[in-house]
Structure formats: structure tokens, C-alpha cells
Amino acid sequence: MSQTKALKVRLTLLCVLAGIVLALVAVVTDHWAVLSPHAEHRNASCQAAHFGLWRICTKRIVPGDGRDRSCGPITLPGEKNCSYFRHFNPGESSEIFEVTTQKEYSISAAAIAVFSLGFTIAGTICVLLSFGKKRDYLLRPASMFYAFAGLCIFVSVEVTRQSVKRMIDSEDTVWIKYYYSWSFACACAAFGLLFLGGLALLLFSLPRMPQNPWESCMDADPEH
């Protein structure tokens, strides 16, 4: 591999590494979306919530001075209580406020995110093995693993987005307002870095194309 191509590969791997870190942060944190119920009275406390792939956190706060009468912002001080979703921890005895969650959506988003982390691990193993002599070909499967990881993160993001939309539209829930938080932004950024980084790594790791019409890829001189 030429020095120019090696430099491009290293820069691409740095972008992929940033994507892996962002994906890990998104998966383990619980600030994907913030939900706010209707505030019955201006000075009465209410419970807002934020959640991730694994758990939901509620916070009892006094609503701000907004005119939409929603509970929030969630950055206001208040008593916080976090609990894992019951389909992930059936034996948990702690009670949280009444809420209808989309169980199938939650399980699907979490499972797909785990698959994404598995693809990143497989890709990283291939990259580490490629550091040996004449093992540059391992960068190609690594690039595909990273691209698949990015696609899985995208699917997890879309499933979570549909889950939030269904909860807001449902008449069985108390939520009237929502917004996506920093964990969701980390997941979106991870998708872009992993998917585009994977494609770029595949492009840079391909063998040199023939320079003459009568050459084939097999006949081309090896790169030094």
C-alpha cells in the first residue's frame, strides 16, 4: 500500500473510531428523547421523562413560564427516578408513573443497536489483524462491518423515532410534547461516520486499477 493511500486509510479509521465512540455513548445513555405531559396548574409539580434504549427516567418538576402548559423544561431541578424497562428487567419492583410504552419497538431498537456494536467489534478485529504484513485485504471486510454497523444504528434511530411518534399520538398516554436529546444526536452522527467511513475504507483498500487498457487487475504491478 502506498504512503498516500495508507494516510487516507488512517484518517478514515480515525473517523470510524469517532463513530464507534458515539455509537457506544448513544447505546448506553438514556437521553434519546424527552417527553412532557400537560401541566394542569401553573404552580403544580408534574413529571417529565427522558428515556433511552434500556431505561426511562422521570423527574418531578415545577413547570416553567411557557404558554403551552407543558411540563418542563426537564433541566429544571427536581426529584429524579430512573428505572429499566420492565421487559428488560421483569423482576424490578420499583413503580414508575403510568405510561404505555411500545414494547416491541423498544426491544427491536435495543436489539438492533447491539447488532451494531457487534459489527463494530468484528470490524475492529479485522483492522487490528490487517496491521500484519500483507494483510491489507482484511480492511475490505472491516469496511463492510463498519458500514453494516452504521446501517443498524440508522434502523435503531428510525425505530425509536416511530416509537416516540406513536406514544405522542396515542390517546392512552399523557404526553403532549417531545424533543430528541443528545443521545439521539450521537446516534445520528455515529450512523454518518460509520456508514460513510466504511464506504471510504472499502474504496481506499481496493487494489489499484489497471493503468493501461491491456492490463487487468491481476496483471497490474503491486503497490510499494
Break the chain into its structural domains and give their ranges.
Answer: 3-85+98-205
Q: Which class is 3-85+98-205 in CATH?
A: mainly alpha
Confidence band for 12, pLDDT divided at 50, 70 and 90: very high
Q: Are 180 and 31 spatial neighbours (Cβ–Cβ below 8 Å)?
A: no
Beta carbons within 10 angstroms of residue 131's beta carbon: 9
Please identify which residue in the block is written with the cell numbers 402548559.
69
Q: Check whether 136 has a pLDDT greater than 70.
A: yes
Please list the residues that pair with 177 across neighbouring strands.
Answer: 36
Tens of pLDDT, residues 26-41:
999 988 988 877 666 5
Query: Given its phi and psi angles, is residue 72 left (phi above 0), alpha (psi -120 to 50 degrees) or beta?
Result: left
Higher pLDDT, 218 or 85: 85
Model pLDDT, residue 41:
55
Pairing of strands 33-37, 46-51: antiparallel
